[in-house]
Structure 1
Amino acid sequence: MAPPPAMDLFGEPIEAHPPWFKPDAFLRAGFDADAYVAELRSYVPLDSLAAELRAHLAALRAELVGLINRDYADFVGLSAHLKGVDAAAARMRAPLADLRDKVAAFRAGASAALAALREGLQQRAAATAARELLELLLDTSHVVSKVEKLIKELPTAPSDSSNAEIPINDTGTPNGKAGTGVRETQSILLERIASEMNRLKFYISHAENLPFIENMEKRIQGATKLLDGSLERCFVDGLEHRDAKVIYNCLRAYAAIDNTSSAEELFRTTVVSPLIQKIVPQNYARAVAGASSDELEEDYQQIKACVEKDCKFILEISSSENSGLHVFDFLGNSILKEVLSAIQKGKPGAFSPGKPKEFLRNYKVSLGFLDFLEGYCFSKSAVTKLRYEPAYTDFMRQWNVGVYFSLRFQEIAGGLDSTLTNTFSPTGLNEAQQKPLLLKQSIKLLESLDSCWSDEVLVFSHCDKFLRLSLQLISRYTTWLSCGLSARKASDRSPNSPADAEWALSIPIEDFIYVSYICNNV
């Protein structure tokens, strides 16, 4: 039996460990020695903690020795109670060995079956891939043959408007409805061919670098060339006759084969270019000779009328809902591109900032024309798309507003500086402008500031630069006036006097009253 615990003077048991040391903490499942030490070291010295741990270890060892000594007789007599264990173990060894052999045989059979199953799955996957590839090649061959057949039917079908004879009605005139039906039938057939060509491109993209596809390359190129030619003729015919159904079908065909640029270029050369060439002269020699000016306002008015009359129909077709034709951009790649080309060839001087007044007028009416084109956009995203088109970017790049501002800067700032450096001559009331300014230089400053913000000079995209110019003008005038007054007050006629002070030193005292009057009223 364990000895009774020691008692203190008041009859309470004396604890063997200090209150902060809890031996039960070592028996917890999630005990962490580092965390335990880190927690105690904040208020217990490490030496004290180490001493308590050593004392606890010694107590545990003593308890272990006591337990062994207490049950030593049973431990020694354990071998006497194990008689017959070897015989029992021998009897159990045979069935266990047999079971082990059976498990090993079963494992080997399962491994062989698993290997055979995996090999079969691999063969099946290879066979499936080969079958899919074969089906893809067969579908490709079938689509190529179908496209060739449909293209061959185009010249002989009643859809060929170039070869087919248009019926004549009783009055002896061509039957317009029959011609419309011919074009519409051809456009429908071309849309179907384009859809098949789209399928063909999809098949080819999944079977590249195969000998079968390489052998069919010439056939595919020939079919593509025939389709492009037939679709071009049908689309041009539809544009010439303003046939909305034909144009719609042709545009869907161009969208199916992802060839929107060809449709935009055909519309530009067929419809837009002849109209623009009638408005803007294309002969540069005539422009140089003065047969036509570089003004663009009247030209833009005529171009807007032509767009409204002759181009609006295709813009409405391409922007119709659920049509899939929003990929076309006739505004930028057809209309604006042709307008830019016509101006560059017929009126190249319109982009020159060498004539600031004409340049600014042309620039503002050009921005108005761009706003007119953006009015045909059906959504905000369409406007953003138009502004990022290469034609739109090239058009805006032609207007070198930076050079224009530099010229205006030299004109306005140079004029004021010239006035300030000239001989001083005060003036009376400016009756023409009704501005009670007494100095010619003050009048020039006000005129310069008015010029910076007048409609005939200001460009809103460069408002910050014109604001800075206005502040520079005021600063220049202030410096000129301050230098003159300081020099007059000091009566400094030395050769080192600044140039801005010469006017104050050369005028009589009576004329200087005008300057003093201004300074007192500023």
Structure 2
Amino acid sequence: MAASTSRDPFELDRLAEELVNRELANQDDSDVPSHDLPIYIPLSHNNPYLTTDVFDVEAFLLSRSHTSLRDLRAELRDYLSTLKEELVKLINDDYEAFISLSTDLRGEGARLGRLKHPLVELKSQILDSKRELHVIQDAIQEKLVKRAVLREEKALLHLLLKISESVTRLESLLLIASPEQDDLEQSTLDDSRPAHLSLSEDNADDRSRANRAKHLGRVAAEYAQLLYHASKARADKCVFVDEIQWRIDRIRSTLSSDLDHVFSTTLLSLTDGKVSDADKPRANNDLNECLRTYDAMGLWRDAEDVLRRDIVRRFVKKSIFPGALNAPPSPIVPHTPFRSSTTSVSATAASPLPPRTPYTPFTSFALKTPLQSSYAVGSVANSPYAHVLEATDDPLARLYSQILRFVERDLSKIMGVAEKVSFKTVSTGRKDKSLVPPLSTLPPEKSNSEVGENGFEIMANVVWEEFGRAIMDELGPVVFAAGRPNEFRKHYETTQAFIRSLEFLAPSAHSIEAMRAHQVYTSFERRWQLPVYFQLRWKEIVGKVEDVLSVPRVELSPTTDKHSFVTTQAAAVWVAISACWSAEVFIPELSHRFWRLTLQLLSRYKTWLSNSLVPDDKSITMPSEKAAPSRSSTPVETPSTESVAADDSILRQYATIILDVRSMHMNVLTLWQEEISLMLPEAAAEERANTEDTLRQSLATLTATTLPMSSHIVAILTKRCCDALLPVRSVSSQFRAMANKQMPKEPSYFVSSILRPVKVFFGIGVGQGPGGSLKEHFLESYASDIFEAVAQRYVYHLTGMKKTEDSLRRLKKGKKSTFSLFGGGAKDDDGKDEERIRMQMILDVEAFGKDGQLLGVSLDQSESFKSLTEMVHAVDLPDNT
């Protein structure tokens, strides 16, 4: 083994064998990439570096980096020689073909000249044929134009014949005399009724009398076709149409008058209740036919005029007049079984109203059922505002109820049918309206014609226009009397309930939109002098508050209400804030003004507290910690009776104010959550959050005014507790003067009275105190601050006692004590006295701490009490001096 090592010291055989094995393993491993040798590609025409537009020398040299420059030069020379050989070969091949081409073209010029002469003659012949063809085409086109003109004239003649026949047929259907017989027929017609109806009755055609409405509908359809044909003829500037226009106008007027007569007769028969049950279906069919005919002819305003003249205006004259509110009620008895107001009471009983605001903000469809989407007419008994109109002692409410019953009985069905008829012809934009925009989004200057030019608008143009105008003209001085706020608010609430109940009877959302955009509605809303009403309420509310706040001193309220306000000032401010949102004062349209007044009342109360009741910290004199401690023989200065009475008055006054401010804070927040937030207009979440933040900031500012009062109360109580702590300075002298010197087992007599002023203030174990109502919220904080201050005073007194004891020890000649309250001393009589004094101090401090714990003081968090405890338990080393 040693010999082999000496022959191969570097183990080359083993390394060679391992290299062979590794190469064999690499050949078997397919994942290892193979390294191929570079392939030599000779220069050719397909080389990409030689075929580019711009030859790049560097790129070419990099591609031949494996070739030396000498070999590359030789390779390029070989390629150059190859190119030259190919070029010479190419020239030789093309030169032979070029020479042969020039030999073949000899004599072709003369041959081309002989071919040119026939082409000129052929071109002239072609041009002659083309001219003849254009002449034939022009003749054919002229004949076609003449035929088209003749065809158009023939069609126009047929159209004029149709117009003439249609006019004649309509005149015969309406029994209008022809121009030749006009004078004769006019002399024979003395009846005031329309000619068609009179002649129909003279002919005694029962069938035509039973189908007057259908007959007029067919006439209207024929008339519409006549207008269409006339418009086409007028577009061709036919004089014939202008000549017979007077006959067309006469047909229109006759048809309109006949339709008005039939419609009026049908309305009177249905509303007067004289039609029998057997004739009701026929009357309803006639009503539908009349409305369809009006809609087809575009005579919507004419139908509204007939309805206004024959039905609504007659009721308005009978019901709305200057003395209507003083007249005895005359309810309208419905023709069919009608739900009474008691039904509405039971219907609305399932949804009780808020306790202080018995109404809902007047929005269009806030409480409306989905009847509007199907264009069904509602019922007054189901209206969510019916409870407001049920006051039998209010003549205005009775009048509104009478109007609503009239609209529901006589007009609701008509409005529903008219809406269905118009729904088939109006644009899709009107059909898709499912929500009524708020009143504030509609411009006041928007006229009725701009809201709905096509279709019936009975609710706006008939119902509301007549009733709104009559209320303004006949009852305006009574209804809109802003000088009497109570009556004004009652009338406003009643009128708004009437308007919303009237909207509840509307057949569609579009009809409500049209009603709100009507000029009479805008004028009606302007008649409400809401700023004047708010000004009167402002004077009434603010005047009472200012009378109470004019007194700079706190006055106790004679009565204690449910909101627990003790002072007259706080009670007056709360009554004023509550009045702003009470059902007897609040109006939704003035919500922002009442909200601003609420914030102003809180700010005024805060200003009164700041100006009239600023705590005077100088009135309380606390013992200075830097003053020299009094000796035990010095008599304790007792406060005078006047100062004690003044402090008691301040404690009662400030405790009362703090209690009222807390009650104001809680009651206003409760009022916000339960009522104000619901009564303000709907707004975005961010705006509503900002409004609530504003209220909370105002309340926080009001609460901040009580912080100096709390500090003043704590200062007075601290002073009294420190006064009760003064006997601690005489503990040492009392123990030294005692004849029976035993170890103390109970705390000193004065310890229990140290925190007694706090207990008296909060009424703990001593009956009712001035701050008894504040115990739940302020006892712990007040007691902690007072306990800390008294503990500091306690430490101050013990420090003074230590200095006094040190002075006495230095005055004793040749006597050394081994034990002392504040240091070591000999165990003699003086040392025993000091030990008893020290034990007494420990008992007193422990009792003081327990008394503080009973008031909610955390001893672990009181640094002064920790210092006091450490001081009384400290034991100094013996003094060997």
Please report the TM-score for the alignment, with normalisation by the length of structure 1.
0.70
Residue 467, structure 1, aligned to residue 595, structure 2 = yes
Distance 2:200 2:152 in 1: 47
For the residue of structure 2 that corresponds to 1:433, the secondary structure is coil
Following superposition, the deviation at residue 258 of structure 1 comes to 0.7
Given that residues 175 and 199 in structure 2 are in contact (C-alpha distance below 8 angstroms), is that contact kept between their aligned partners in structure 1?
no
Task: Measure, in 1, the Cα distance between the counterparts of 2:595 and 2:476.
Answer: 31
- Matched residue, 2:103: 80
Give the equivalent residue in structure 1 for 2:299. Answer: 259
Change (3 A) 1:253 1:106: same
User: How far has the Cα of 1:344 moved from its partner?
Assistant: 1.7
Q: Which residue of 382, 400, 407 corresponds with 1:300?
A: 400
The structural deviation recorded for 1:323 is 8.7
Letter in 2 for 1:444: A
Query: Cα deviation per residue 1:209-254 (whole Å; 9 max; x = unaligned)?
Result: 6432222232222222222222222221111112323322222222
Which residue, 225, 242, 247 being the options, matches 1:214?
242
Partner of 2:228: 202
Please identify, of 431-440 and 345-354, the stretch whose mean Cα deviation from structure 2 is larger.
431-440
- Please give the alpha-carbon distance, in whole angstroms, between the structure 2 residues aligned to 1:255 and 1:82: 93
Structure with greater helix share of residues: 1
Residues 307 and 462, structure 2, Cα contact 8 Å, conserved in 1: yes
* Residues 288 and 417 in structure 2, CA contact (< 8 A), matched pair in contact too: yes
Amino acid at match of 2:396: L
Deviations 1:56-103 (A, max 9, x none): xxxxxx99x999976567657754331121233234334544553454
Among residues 276, 292, 308, which one is paired with 2:316 in the alignment? 276
Q: Secondary structure at the match of 1:160?
A: helix
State the alpha-carbon separation in 2 of the partners of residues 88 and 275 from structure 1: 114
Deviations 1:284-331 (A, max 9, x none): xx589x779996311111112222333234234334579959832322
| Residue 400 to residue 131, structure 1, CA distance change in 2 (3 Å) | farther
Q: Distance in 1 between matches of 2:157 and 2:526?
A: 53
SS at match of 1:296: helix
Instruction: For 1:266 and 1:378, locate their aligned partners in 2 and report how far apart those are by CA, in whole Å.
Output: 20
Partner in structure 2 of residue 518 of structure 1? 657
Residues 403 and 134 of structure 1: CA distance in aligned 2, closer, same or farther (over 3 Å):
farther
Considering only CA atoms, is the larger Rg found in Structure 1 or Structure 2? 2
Match of 1:89 in 2: 112
Q: Which residue of 1 aligns with 2:499?
A: 370
Q: Using the TM superposition, give the Cα deviation of residue 454 of structure 1 relative to its aligned residue in structure 2, in angstroms.
A: 1.4
Match runs of 1:58-457 below 5 Å: 75=98, 78-116=101-139, 119-120=142-143, 122-152=145-175, 160=197, 164=201, 183-206=209-232, 207=234, 210-242=238-270, 243-281=283-321, 283=322, 286=323, 296-320=396-420, 327-349=455-477, 350-413=479-542, 415-417=544-546, 419-420=548-549, 422-429=550-557, 431=559, 433-457=561-585
Moved more, 444-453 or 320-329: 320-329
The answer to whether the 8 Å contact 2:552/2:613 transfers is no
Contact 1:159 1:185 in 2 (8 A): no
Offset, 1:333: 1.9
% of aligned pairs identical? 27
**CA offsets 1:377-409 (integer angstroms, 9 cap, x no match):** 444445445544555555444445455445444
Q: 1:263 deviation in Å?
A: 0.9
* Contact 1:158-1:164 at 8 Å conserved across structures: no
Does the aligned pair in 1 maintain the 2:460–2:511 contact within 8 Å? no
Pair 1:511–1:66, CA change in 2 (3 A) = farther
- 8 Å CA contact 2:217, 2:289 repeated in 1: yes
- Indicate the residue corresponding to 2:52 in structure 1: 23
Secondary structure in 2 matching 1:426? coil
Residue 7 of structure 1 corresponds to: none
Alignment correspondent of 2:381:
none
Deviation at 1:369, TM superposition (A): 2.6
How far apart, CA to CA, are the structure 2 residues paired with 1:134 and 1:480?
96
User: What is the DSSP-based 3-state SS (H/G/I as helix, E as strand, rest coil) of the residue aligned with 1:478?
Assistant: helix
Distance 2:307 2:589 in 1: 33
User: Once structures 1 and 2 are overlaid, which stretch shifts more, 434-443 or 409-418?
Assistant: 409-418
- Change in 2 beyond 3 A, CA 1:325/1:376: farther
Gap change, CA 1:351 and 1:442, over 3 Å in 2: same
Structure 1 unmatched ranges of 5 or more: 1-9, 27-61, 168-177, 492-507
Assess if the C-alpha contact under 8 Å between 2:175 and 2:196 holds in 1: no
Alpha-carbon deviation of 1:447? Answer: 1.4
Structure 2 counterpart of 1:151, one-letter code:
L
1:244–1:317 contact (8 Å) kept in structure 2? no
SS at match of 1:477: helix
Paired residue secondary structure (2:250): helix
Aligned to 2:9: none
Residues 13 and 332 (structure 1 numbering): CA distance in 2 closer, same or farther, change over 3 Å?
Answer: same
**Is the contact made by 2:167 and 2:247 (CA closer than 8 Å) also made in structure 1?**
yes
Q: By how many angstroms is 1:354 displaced?
A: 3.4
For 1:514 and 1:456, locate their aligned partners in 2 and report how far apart those are by CA, in whole Å.
Answer: 34
